[in-house]
Amino acid sequence: MDSNTIYIIIIGILFILAVSDLIIGVSNDAVNFLNSALGSKAFNFKVIMAVAALGILFGATFSTGMMEVARKGIFHPENFYFSEIIYLFLAIMLTDIILLDLFNTFGMPTSTTVSIVFELLGAAVGLATIKILNDPNHLSMDAYINSGKALTIILGILMSVVIAFTTGALFQYMSRLLFSFDYRDKLKYYGAIWGGLAISAITYFILVKGAKSASFMSPEFKHSIKDNAFLILTTTFAVWAIILQLIIMFTKFDVLKIIVLVGTFALAMAFSGNDLVNFIGVPLAGFASYNSWAASGVDPNEFLMTGLAGKVATPTVFLLLAGIIMSLTLYFSKKARSVTETEINLGRQEEGFERFGSSALSRSIVRGFSKAGNFISSILPRSVHSKLETRFDRSSFQERQKTLGVDAPSFDLVRASVILTVSSIIISVATFLKLPLSTTYVTFMVAMGASLADGSWGRETAVYRITGVFSVIGGWFFTAFSAFTIAFAIIFLFYYGSFYAVFAVMILVGYILFKTHVLHKKMSDEKEAAKEEDKILDTYTKSDIIDYNIKNTKKIFNGISEIIEDTIRGLSHENLSSIKEDYKKIVKLNTKAENLQNHISDIVSKIEDHDIEAGNYYAVCVYYLREIVYSAKSIVNRCYKHVDNNHKPLLEEQIDELKKSMNEITAMFNKFIKDAEAGARSEAISKDKLVDMLRKLRKNQVKRIKTKTVGTRNSILFLGIVDHMRSIVNFSDRLENIHNTFIQENEDDVDIQ
């Protein structure tokens, strides 16, 4: 195979990867421009998607100026040969697809800009290192790497985090002071002015600033826009202010929805204009490189890529095709929705299940800010403090939440409009300056700053939300490190392995994409099944609560019986892999129990007032189920550690004792479920009988210890299992008693202890 054929194949691969990268990249970056509209539920899903798709198509034609970053923003192409730089571009694209797909799979928003910048840097540094090691006439590292430009880009990205968070918090705080949470009456007075300013600001930065790089506009038209910028700005403000005021006066339509819709269009447009380079910039640079070399007739190992250092126009057709692919991806990508859920949950107004736990750092930050807040409150005049409290009173929002039920938004339209407006402006300014800042960083941090200013991070949620933010930011740093390292390693493989290495890496990437697709589908199916199973109704009657509790109890009891019985079998055969699988199953069951506990408030708040005792019944039952699962998890964990540490197996008589005990517990479970489903009082196996059986097991173990039949590790394991089995029996007995008490007929006031 001659070199020309190889390079044609590589160019073909680059374009295939470009399409893949567009699909994978948009799946992650959709979070940037969809979250505000989806989180506030300003319009239905199809309307939001249509507006976003239109914004992407327009924004794609504004990207041509940004393509220079991929060609010469990070390295000096004139000091690399065509045979080197074509492999550099391929290494970058393969790395990008791997990283973005992994983040999409686990629903974590990352930065496509950071990934492409550090991939360019890693591959270029790797290639420069190879040249320095092998070429006696090599240049210095500075001659290969555009360190000044790279540093400017990196600092711009980091600064955008601080600027976005601060700006988002400031504008949200000011907006909430102006409108409060009961904003509808305030819109009558200054909603039109506020909306006109927001839309005209978006128009100014998108049209006036972004037009400079638009591929479809003539130079004369661009100059005309620039010369009449002030007129465009004032006219836009006046027109929109009048339109919004008329809507407010003669309709009941919420004008903030218009701002959200325009903002969604603007942010999608800004995203496409700024981030399209991340997906197709490198393949287009590779295509331009090939055309230059093919026209030269020079050996690929001697043809320096000086042509990339100059101006290269990007055909509008390529930009539009990229925009179409991205738009279609929005409608069909399930991974995009997984990523979107993460940011919406971190910014939602109300409490509920938190995906992230707490950390020492988040606890320290919350404690520090709480003290600072208390100090500021103590020095503020009482009148000022009372006034501020009224502006941030969420009772009206909470009432709307309760009325809408499962259709309630995560936050209101005031915050959604602020996030979209501020994010659009920041990103559009960066596009004008040709700084590829991260749209993910900007929109995420604006949203988090707005959430903080809006009081979403209260005492009940702050530690979890801050941990979530740090987890996302940590993922960004991981992106940078991984992008640099992987691209650096791949370029070495390509240089020394040539086309054979390309083939091997392509197979590896395909395998990774297949595995992540299977994993994400499995995770999505499990999540959907859990949502369907745990679906929360708008209201709950006494009967609904009983049925819901029996269903959950049955699932947990059946799961515990199956897992522990299998664990005991695995323990008897010292089958570590079997017990490991059992541990994974019990962890999932434990998550199920935790979710039930986390959603107690959601369930209880929807119980009809005349069935209020049902809330007490449900809360107590969930608590007992949680303790039962915890004990079962402890049993499996003890068995796993015992076998994993290669301790001596239990005696055959001990295994028999445990099997018999678990059989009796399973019989107790089954009897309770059978009676409960029949609507009758449960007459389960006597708790005293089971407790006596377990007490006998403990005595037998004491005898074995006395006769030195067993050792310390054996006793720790066996007595621990027996102890947790007793906990399961005790809590199951309490659960049975609570259930029997609650279903008693002809009692209006049931007192559940």
Answer yes or no: is pLDDT of 563 > 90.
yes
State the pLDDT at residue 448.
Answer: 82
For the segment 63-77, the average pLDDT, to the nearest whole number, is 60
Measuring CA to CA, how many Å separate 598 from each of 41, 535, 602?
24, 14, 8
Answer yes or no: is pLDDT of 436 > 90.
no
State the pLDDT at residue 66.
Answer: 46
C-beta neighbour count of 399 within 10 angstroms: 11
Answer yes or no: is pLDDT of 319 > 70.
yes
State the pLDDT at residue 684.
Answer: 56
Beta bridge partners of 418: none
pLDDT tens digits, 487-543: 999 999 988 888 788 888 888 888 888 887 787 677 666 666 655 555 555 677 788
**Would you place residue 675 in the very low, low, confident or very high pLDDT band (cuts 50, 70, 90)?**
confident
More confident residue, 614 or 213: 614
More confident residue, 102 or 520: 102
Among candidate residues 146, 136, 129, the one with its CA nearest the CA of residue 84: 129
Average pLDDT, the chain: 79
| d(C-alpha 594, C-alpha 550), whole Å | 17
Instruction: For helices 652-677 and 542-572, give the axis angle rounded to 10 degrees.
Output: 160
What class does CATH assign to 538-742? mainly alpha
Percent of all residues in the chain with a pLDDT value above 90, rounded to a whole number: 15
Is residue 145 helix, strand or coil?
Answer: strand
| Across 264-273, 572-581, 614-623, least confident range | 264-273
Answer yes or no: is pLDDT of 343 > 70.
no
For the segment 47-73, the average pLDDT, to the nearest whole number, is 69
Task: Specify whether the CB–CB gap between 267 and 430 falls below 8 A.
Answer: no
Task: Specify whether the CB–CB gap between 632 and 728 falls below 8 A.
Answer: yes
In sequence order, the 6+-apart residues with CB closer than 8 A to the CB of 97 are 17, 20, 21, 24, 509, 513
Domain boundaries, the chain: 3-528, 538-742
Q: Which two tokens stand for residue 647?
A: 């301790």
Ramachandran angles phi, psi of 605, nearest 5°: -65, -20
| Across 142-151, 579-588, 614-623, least confident range | 142-151
Alpha carbons within 13 A on the beta-carbon side of 28: 32
Task: Specify whether the CB–CB gap between 733 and 687 falls below 8 A.
Answer: yes
State the pLDDT at residue 659.
Answer: 93
Dihedral sign, Cα of residue 425, residue 397, residue 597, residue 534:
negative
Task: Specify whether the CB–CB gap between 164 and 449 falls below 8 A.
Answer: yes
More confident residue, 433 or 115: 115
| 295 residue type, one letter | A
| d(C-alpha 263, C-alpha 200), whole Å | 11
Answer yes or no: is pLDDT of 570 > 70.
yes
State the pLDDT at residue 751.
Answer: 47
In sequence order, the 6+-apart residues with CB closer than 8 A to the CB of 691 are 726, 729, 730
For the segment 142-169, the average pLDDT, to the nearest whole number, is 79
For the segment 287-293, the average pLDDT, to the nearest whole number, is 85
Answer yes or no: is pLDDT of 247 > 50.
yes
| Across 62-76, 131-145, 433-447, least confident range | 62-76
| d(C-alpha 228, C-alpha 235), whole Å | 11
**Would you place residue 749 in the very low, low, confident or very high pLDDT band (cuts 50, 70, 90)?**
very low
Percent of all residues in the chain with a pLDDT value above 70, rounded to a whole number: 78
For the segment 580-584, the average pLDDT, to the nearest whole number, is 93
Answer yes or no: is pLDDT of 153 > 60.
yes
Q: Which two tokens stand for residue 53?
A: 């798709």
Kind and range of the H or E run holding 402: helix 395-404
Helices first, then strands: H and E counts in the chain: 27, 0
| d(C-alpha 591, C-alpha 747), whole Å | 35
| 159 residue type, one letter | M
| d(C-alpha 565, C-alpha 557), whole Å | 12
Answer yes or no: is pLDDT of 714 > 70.
yes
pLDDT tens digits, 624-650: 999 999 999 999 999 999 999 988 889
**Would you place residue 657 in the very low, low, confident or very high pLDDT band (cuts 50, 70, 90)?**
very high
C-beta neighbour count of 152 within 10 angstroms: 13
Residue 212, exposed/middle/buried by CB under 10 A (0-12, 13-18, 19+)? middle
Among 345-354, 387-396, 486-495, top mean pLDDT goes to 486-495
* Range list of H helices, 63-179: 67-68, 82-105, 112-134, 141-144, 147-179
Task: Specify whether the CB–CB gap between 67 and 116 falls below 8 A.
Answer: no
Overall pTM surpassing 0.85 (yes/no): no
Among candidate residues 394, 442, 410, 448, the one with its CA nearest the CA of residue 42: 410
State the pLDDT at residue 60.
Answer: 74
State the pLDDT at residue 753.
Answer: 47
Among 4-8, 72-76, 655-659, 676-680, top mean pLDDT goes to 655-659
More confident residue, 348 or 97: 97
Conformational region of residue 455, where left means phi above 0, alpha means psi within -120 to 50, and beta covers everything else: left
Task: Specify whether the CB–CB gap between 15 and 281 falls below 8 A.
Answer: no
**Would you place residue 747 in the very low, low, confident or very high pLDDT band (cuts 50, 70, 90)?**
very low
More confident residue, 402 or 593: 593
